[in-house]
Amino acid sequence: MDSFLCEENMKTLIKFLLVTLVVCVSTITSRAQQNFINITNYRVYCGWAHNYPQDWLILRRFENQGKDYFLLVNPQTLQTKVNESSFYQVKPMTLTQTRTFFKKTPYEKAISKAEKQSVAIQDAGIERGMPSETGISLTADLCPSHRMLDRRIFTTLINEFQKVERPAPIALSVSGIWMLQHKQDLEWLKQLVNSGEIRVTWVNHSYTHRVSKNAPLKLNFLLEPGTNITYEVLETEKLMLKNGLVPSAFFRFPGLVSDQQLVYKVTDFGLIPIGSDAWLAKGQQPQAGSIVLIHGNGNEPVGVEDFIKLLHSKTKQIASKQWLLYDLSESVEDEFTDDK
């Protein structure tokens, strides 16, 4: 009898250890983002994917080393993730069908609002979150640059928020060429993410980030004749995935410049254009709920200094949680959750 009990206990213990091991391994793998180094057949793919209890909207499909993957967005929270397609029940749909299916979600409301704000040559798309928020969403653009990453942004952010908001949320709009030319800076940022100091929403900022010194805005940036928008969007995402970054559902136009046609081209990729109502280097003052824009690529130190001054002026409010940083996805989600 004793030995039987002992055997049963051992079995229970082994079972317990195995379950613990599985949980630990899955936690580790979900934290460390995979580097997809052999992506093939990367394409826009629309539809619904379901894995109980969550519905997902499919943005992309691709293969990597013999496995088939989706890039998915949660239409309620606007968070994205990459996962194997075999884990889901799937209903492929056209873009129009997909958007109708998810019509009542914050994602669809945000993307249609961005389309409605598409006429202006500069600053189309979503430019602010909820005015009731006492704080801002910070976005820093990483346009191609020969200068080093402006690390002051991150060190100041971490110092100011370490006791009240850790990890501190920031959206980084990253261009393909910046990623190629700044491997060490990118690794440094990833270390800050892995050590739980910052939480990054990776925003597509186009691949080549075309810009001309002399051309008028209507023929500049992605409006330059000959721009291949499919290349600009998809190659940036592929390079993000290769570097272990999960592309978000957001897009930031280089120079914040676009026209209506270009906005619709971008929303056809399922991406939400993000503008800014507070480009600090241009003297625009942030309000509650602002989407603040600074440049992290070393080319706009004035904006970074303004941001550091802003943080220092809020030290007391930050310490008492009266002034916080909002994750871009959460901020946009809040803005579109209540207007049913």
- Which spans of this chain sit near Zn ion (rule: CB under 5 A)? 141, 143, 254
Q: Determine the Cα–Cα distance for residues 32 and 29; give it in Å rounded to an integer.
A: 5
Of 243 and 297, which has the nearer Cβ to Zn ion? 297
Q: Which is nearer to Zn ion, 172 or 234 (CB)?
A: 172
Residue 202 backbone phi and psi in degrees, to 5: -90, 115
Tell me whether residue 129 or residue 254 sits nearer to Zn ion (CB atom).
254
Helix, coil or strand: residue 126: strand
Cβ 188 to Zn ion shortest distance, Å: 20
Q: How many other CB atoms are there within 10 angstroms of residue 121's CB atom?
A: 16
Helices 183-194, 152-161: inter-axial angle, 10-degree rounding: 10
Choice between 209 and 265, CB closer to Zn ion: 209
What is the smallest separation between the CB atom of 254 and Zn ion, expressed in angstroms?
Answer: 4
Rounded to a whole number of angstroms, the minimum distance from the CB of residue 157 to Zn ion is: 20
The partner residues of 324 in beta bridges, in order of sequence, read: 135
Return d(Cα 259, Cα 139) in angstroms, integer.
Answer: 22
- What residue has token string 């739980």? 196
- In the complex with Zn ion, the residue whose CB is nearer, 133 or 141, is 141
Q: Is the peptide bond before 225 cis (omega within 30 degrees of 0)?
A: no
Kindly state the DSSP code that residue 274 receives in the 8-state scheme. Answer: B
The residue with its CB nearest to Zn ion is 143
Residue 142 Cβ, how far from Zn ion at the closest point, in Å? 8
- Smallest gap from Cβ 280 to Zn ion, in A, equals 14
